[in-house]
């Protein structure tokens, strides 16, 4: 199938990848747009993984208020250079991450940050529930494992489905930006406040 300039332009607009990369992706995918996007995504993720251990100390602190001030978020997102920190694309990403935190209320950035006792308590609850539901003993460990995975997907920011596209996680969104901006990007820390929480605790 002939790869036209129009097809390359369309893929480039959707992914931000270079002209040659878009041509190669379309050739590899036999002109299939979705497959070409996947090809570029994988290539980008591989490149991004190589950048993931580089120092990121520039960036932005994004503030976001939602629902007439009912929910407030402050998040620090870091990159490697001031040049990228000032770019529109990086700032838009920081804003998207703040929106994600406001909407999905994660408790941790990474899985490793979950305290052992939280996981243990969650596993105990899942085990008790499975027993109460009368599940056979031999499948209980698998059920507990599945419920723990779901729990982590809900409370860990990087594991959450991205609110604008549930087919990708926040981590994949981050990796795509690392690939297109050419720098390591790190969500350093965040706080989320909700009006009235902890009152009467």
In the numeric block, the tokens 């109460």 are attached to: 132
11: helix, strand or coil: helix
The structure's pTM equals 0.70
At residue 50, the pLDDT reads 57
Domain count, the chain: 3
Domain co-membership, 38 together with 128: no
Domain co-membership, 97 together with 169: yes
Residue 8: what are its φ and ψ, rounded to 5°? -65, -45
Q: Are 41 and 17 in contact (CB under 8 A)?
A: no
The answer to the question of residue 200 being in a domain is no
Those residues of the chain that have pLDDT short of 50 are 201
pLDDT digits (tens, 9 = 90+) for 152-174: 999 999 999 999 999 999 999 99
At residue 159, the pLDDT reads 95
Domain co-membership, 178 together with 160: yes
């Amino acid at each position: 199938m002939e790869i036209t300039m129009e097809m390359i332009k369309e893929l480039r607009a959707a992914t931000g990848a270079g002209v040659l990369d878009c041509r190669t992706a379309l050739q590899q995918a036999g002109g299939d747009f979705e497959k070409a996007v996947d090809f570029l995504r994988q290539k980008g993720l591989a490149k991004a993984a190589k950048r993931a251990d580089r120092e990121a100390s520039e960036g932005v602190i994004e503030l976001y208020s939602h629902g007439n001030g009912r929910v407030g978020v402050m998040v620090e997102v870091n990159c490697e250079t001031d040049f990228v920190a000032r770019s529109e694309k990086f700032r838009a990403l920081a804003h998207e991450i703040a929106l994600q935190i406001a909407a999905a209320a994660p408790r941790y950035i990474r899985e490793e940050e979950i305290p052992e006792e939280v996981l243990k308590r969650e596993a105990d609850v899942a085990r008790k529930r499975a027993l109460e539901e009368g599940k056979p003993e031999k499948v209980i460990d698998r059920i507990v494992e599945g419920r723990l995975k779901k729990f982590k997907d809900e409370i860990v920011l990087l594991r959450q489905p991205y609110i604008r596209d549930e087919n990708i996680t926040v981590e994949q969104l981050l990796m795509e930006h690392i690939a297109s901006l050419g720098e390591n990007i790190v969500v350093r820390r965040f706080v989320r406040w909700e009006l009235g929480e902890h009152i009467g605790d």
